[in-house]
Amino acid sequence: MKSTQYVARQPDDTGFIDYPEAEHQLWNTLITRQLQVIEGHACQEYLDGIEQLKLSHERIPQLNDVNRVLHSTTGWQVARVPALIPFQTFFELLASKQFPVATFIRSPEELDYLQEPDIFHEIFGHCPLLTNPWFAEFTHAYGKLGLKASKEQRVFLARLYWMTIEFGLVDTSQGRKIYGGGILSSPRETLYCLSDQPQHLAFDPVEAMRTPYRIDILQPVYFALPNLKRLFDLAHEDIMAMVTQARELGLHAPLFPPKHAA
What residue numbers does the annotated binding site for Fe cation cover? 121, 126, 166
Residues in the chain: 262
Q: Which of 216, 224, 181 is nearest to 200 (CA)?
A: 224
Distances (CA, A) of 194 to 22, 77, 171: 33, 31, 11
Binding residues: 121, 126, 166
Distance CA 232, CA 118 (A): 27
| Contact in structure between 94 and 71 (CB atoms under 8 Å) | no
| Contact in structure between 84 and 116 (CB atoms under 8 Å) | yes
Angle at 186 between CA 93 and CA 5, to 5 degrees: 60
